[in-house]
């Protein structure tokens, strides 16, 4: 895992832990890649012919007007953690990474005004100094708020706080003709909902106002009421009730890992617990051990790296009984390096909780069938979280499962036609179950199918009464 050094806007060099030692986001070379390189390290780069690097909203408007005048199609990129060809182009790229300032913190309104390219974990750390934090944050320390808002944003507390976008109060974005638009739920609501989860298709988010909450993420310890399963049906039976009704819990994350000979699942339901010194000590020593191990991963000789990653992975397979909110949020980020060992590919969907069990079984069977037929996967993981979102459903009791099929790629690899076949079948399953795709991971390219799978497109089609799972099934012709 090691550290990456980065040159801050203030002109200082700052080091931060990095869970992908093998990938650099801060070089010209980085512009040729997205996260797909983690699943296919020998992938050919796609370099842009032009890169724009605005720092302010005024510069952003001027750049967009220039691009419009020149007839250039701009591709918006933050830090390239997506893997669905969203940030790659041979044409012009507009990078938001230098629009990375926290513009204001308003403690009376409990909101922060942020430039879109600021990294969400940095905002969280800044807020932590005053006893606050973002309600929803991803499990990686390098995701920007603009990128997160453009895909949705899910965390292990999303069943209480919604998606990241549900916590955006208002935003300013620049259309591709250069018009600055300010919008919120009460002002130009159609624009607001269109840009959120919009994958950079409708303009560039310049700034946004986000809610924060009172919370001490680094010192509040939660108790993990963990269940361990060796059988997939036991895992499904243990998770399904949580997907339907997670109330009473503080954070939830569960994972089923099938390594062929070894199969192991954990269901981690974190609840508040009386704060005691020994619980903090336990958290600090266990996580300190895992973080210490992982800091070296990615910097050691390959064989040693793999052993270190293996040891760190133990903490991901069997999360400890006590953890601070921050350690739950970051989960694997400081425990394993994604660029050590087998390449990995993710495919994520948003599944209505009523369909959870069936969808889980069918998706798992599909992945295992691919592994048997093509010998393309070294392991099959199924990572789940539960969420509800005002954006996805107007019914406050409608829960969704974020279902992440996480696969290890063998040396043989998965060939392009096999990958396309798998993605098509995943999309088919989603259409069948009224599920949506999380669009930053690989989806099919057919526009008609995408319009039924992309939460943003579905919401734009039915703006006033957001589709409920049953209606979505009707829309899908079921
Ligand atoms: C290790 C890792 C862990 C992750 N963990 C989580 C998690 O816990 N929860 C979760 O929800 N996601 C998670 N993600 C996914 C992550 O949220 C997405 O990859 C997301 O795209 C943010 O990454 P980014 O900031 O690099 O954006 P990019 O990948 O650069 O961009 C993503 C999309 O947003 C658009 N975009 C970016 N900025 C703007 C802007 N200012 N205006 C308009 N459009 C814009 C781009 O055009 C693109 O379509 C994880 C990803 C990785 C690699």
Rounded to a whole number of angstroms, the CA Rg of the chain reads 21
Phi, psi of 134 (to 5 degrees): -75, 140
- Reported as a single tens digit per residue, the pLDDT across 159-176 is 999 999 999 999 999 999
- For position 469, what pLDDT does the model report? 52
Q: Of the given ranges (69-73, 275-279, 336-340, 442-446), which has the lowest mean pLDDT? A: 336-340
More confident residue, 242 or 463: 242
Residue 476, pLDDT > 60, answer no
Query: Is ligand 1 within 6 A of the CB of residue 77?
Result: yes
Q: Which of 51, 61, 81, 173 to mutate to test ligand 1, by most ligand atoms within 8 A of the CB atom?
A: 81
Q: Return the ligand 1 atom nearest residue 173 CA.
A: 42
Query: Is ligand 1 within 6 A of the CB of residue 139?
Result: yes
CATH number of 3-95: 3.30.43
CATH class of 102-214: alpha beta
Query: Is ligand 1 within 6 A of the CB of residue 86?
Result: yes
Q: Give me the residue spans of the domains in the chain.
A: 3-95, 102-214, 221-475
Distance CA 431, CA 434 (A): 5
Residue 398, pLDDT > 60, answer yes
Q: Which of 157, 440, 443 to mutate to test ligand 1, by most ligand atoms within 8 A of the CB atom?
A: 440
Assign residue 147 a region (left: φ > 0; alpha: ψ between -120 and 50; beta: otherwise): alpha
- Could you tell me the pLDDT band of residue 128, with boundaries at 50, 70 and 90? very high
Q: How far is the CA of 83 from the centre of ligand 1 (A)?
A: 9
- Could you tell me the pLDDT band of residue 57, with boundaries at 50, 70 and 90? very high
Which H, E and C letters describe the chain, residue by residue? CCEEEEECCCCCEEEEECCCCCCCCCCCHHHHCCHHHHCCCCCCCCCCCEEECCCCHHHHHHHHHHHHHHCCCEEEECCCCCCCCCCCCCCEEEECCCCCCEEEEECCCCEEEEECCCEHHHHHHHHHCCCEECCCCCCCCCCEHHHHHHHCCCCCCHHHHCCHHHHEEEEEEECCCCCEEEEECCCCHHHHHHHCCCCCCCCEEEEEEEECEECCCCCCEEEEEEEEECCHHHHHHHHHHHHHCCCCCCEEEEEEEECCCCEEEEEEEEEECCCCHHHHHHHHHHHHHHHHHHHHCCCCCHHHHHHHHHHHHHHHHCCCCEEEHHHHHHCCCCCCCCCCCCCEEEEEEEEEHHHHHHHHHHHHHHHHHHHHHHCCEEEEEEEEEEECCCCCCCCCCCCEEEEEEEEEECCCCCCHHHHHHHHHHHHHHHHHHCCEECCCCCCCCCHHHHHHHCHHHHHHHCCCCCCCHHHHHHHCCC
Mean pLDDT across the chain: 92
CATH class of 221-475: alpha beta
Q: How far is the CA of 183 from the centre of ligand 1 (A)?
A: 21
Q: Which of 150, 193, 392 to mutate to test ligand 1, by most ligand atoms within 8 A of the CB atom?
A: 150
Identify the burial level of 339 via C-beta atoms within 10 angstroms of its C-beta, where 0-12 means exposed, 13-18 middle and 19 or more buried. buried
Q: Return the ligand 1 atom nearest residue 154 CA.
A: 11
Query: Is ligand 1 within 6 A of the CB of residue 466?
Result: no
Q: How far is the CA of 162 from the centre of ligand 1 (A)?
A: 17
Q: How far is the CA of 275 from the centre of ligand 1 (A)?
A: 34
- For position 16, what pLDDT does the model report? 66
Across residues 13-27, what is the average pLDDT? 73
Protein residue whose Cα sits closest to atom 52 of ligand 1:
81
Task: Scan for tokens 């703006």, then name that residue.
Answer: 463
- For position 222, what pLDDT does the model report? 98
Q: How far is the CA of 277 from the centre of ligand 1 (A)?
A: 37
- Reported as a single tens digit per residue, the pLDDT across 196-232 is 999 999 999 999 999 999 999 999 999 999 999 999 9
Q: How far is the CA of 152 from the centre of ligand 1 (A)?
A: 9
Q: Which of 149, 153, 353 is nearest to 241 (CA)?
A: 353
Q: How far is the CA of 146 from the centre of ligand 1 (A)?
A: 8
Q: How far is the CA of 180 from the centre of ligand 1 (A)?
A: 23
Q: Tell me if 34 sits within 8 A of 46, measured CB to CB.
A: no
Query: Is ligand 1 within 6 A of the CB of residue 162?
Result: no
Q: How far is the CA of 94 from the centre of ligand 1 (A)?
A: 15
Name the pTM for this structure: 0.94
- Could you tell me the pLDDT band of residue 71, with boundaries at 50, 70 and 90? very high
Angle between helices 416-433 and 356-374 (to 10 degrees): 160
Q: How far is the CA of 79 from the centre of ligand 1 (A)?
A: 7
Of all residues in the chain, the percent with pLDDT exceeding 70 is 92
Q: Which of 57, 82, 173, 328 to mutate to test ligand 1, by most ligand atoms within 8 A of the CB atom?
A: 82
Q: How far is the CA of 66 from the centre of ligand 1 (A)?
A: 26
- Could you tell me the pLDDT band of residue 6, with boundaries at 50, 70 and 90? low
């Amino acid at each position: 895992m090691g550290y990456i050094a980065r040159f801050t806007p203030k002109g200082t060099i700052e080091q931060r832990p990095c869970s992908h030692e093998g990938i650099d986001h801060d070089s010209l070379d980085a512009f040729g890649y997205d996260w797909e390189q983690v699943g296919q390290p020998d992938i050919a780069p796609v370099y842009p012919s032009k890169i724009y690097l605005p720092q302010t909203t005024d510069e952003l408007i001027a750049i967009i007007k220039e691009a419009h005048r020149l007839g250039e199609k701009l591709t918006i990129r933050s830090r390239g953690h997506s893997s669905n060809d969203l940030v790659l182009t041979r044409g012009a790229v507009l990078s938001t990474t230098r629009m990375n300032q926290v513009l204001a913190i308003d403690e009376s309104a409990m909101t922060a005004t942020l430039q879109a390219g600021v990294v969400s974990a940095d905002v969280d750390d800044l807020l932590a100094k005053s006893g606050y934090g973002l309600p929803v944050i991803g499990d990686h320390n390098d995701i920007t708020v603009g990128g997160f808002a453009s895909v949705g944003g899910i965390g292990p507390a999303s069943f209480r706080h919604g998606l990241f976008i549900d916590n955006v109060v208002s935003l300013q974005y620049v259309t591709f003709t250069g018009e600055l638009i300010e919008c919120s739920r009460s002002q130009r609501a159609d624009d607001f909902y269109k840009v959120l989860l919009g994958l950079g298709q409708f303009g560039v988010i310049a700034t946004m106002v986000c809610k924060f909450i009172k919370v001490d993420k680094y010192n509040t310890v939660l108790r993990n009421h963990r269940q361990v399963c060796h059988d997939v049906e036991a895992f499904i039976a243990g998770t399904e009730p949580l997907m339907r009704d997670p109330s009473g819990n503080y954070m939830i994350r569960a994972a089923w890992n099938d390594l062929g000979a070894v199969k192991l699942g954990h269901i981690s339901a974190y609840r508040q617990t009386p704060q005691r010194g020994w619980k903090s000590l336990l958290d600090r020593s266990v996580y300190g051990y895992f973080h210490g191990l992982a800091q070296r991963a990615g910097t050691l000789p390959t064989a040693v790296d793999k052993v270190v990653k293996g040891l760190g992975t133990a903490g991901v397979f069997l999360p400890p009984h006590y953890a601070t909110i921050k350690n739950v949020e970051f989960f694997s980020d400081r425990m394993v390096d994604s660029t050590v060992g087998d390449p990995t590919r993710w495919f994520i969907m948003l599944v209505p909780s009523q369909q959870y069990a069936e969808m889980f079984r069918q998706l798992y069977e599909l992945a295992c069938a691919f592994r048997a037929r093509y010998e393309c996967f070294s392991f099959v993981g199924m990572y789940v979280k539960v969420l509800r979102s005002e954006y996805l459903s107007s019914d406050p009791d409608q829960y969704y499962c974020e279902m992440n099929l996480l696969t290890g790629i063998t040396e043989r690899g998965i060939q392009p036609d096999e990958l396309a076949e798998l993605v098509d079948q995943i999309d088919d399953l989603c259409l069948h179950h009224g599920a949506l795709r999380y669009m930053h991971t690989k989806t099919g390219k057919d526009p008609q199918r995408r319009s039924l799978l992309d939460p943003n497109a579905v919401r734009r089609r039915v703006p006033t009464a957001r589709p409920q799972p049953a209606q979505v099934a009707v829309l899908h012709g079921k």
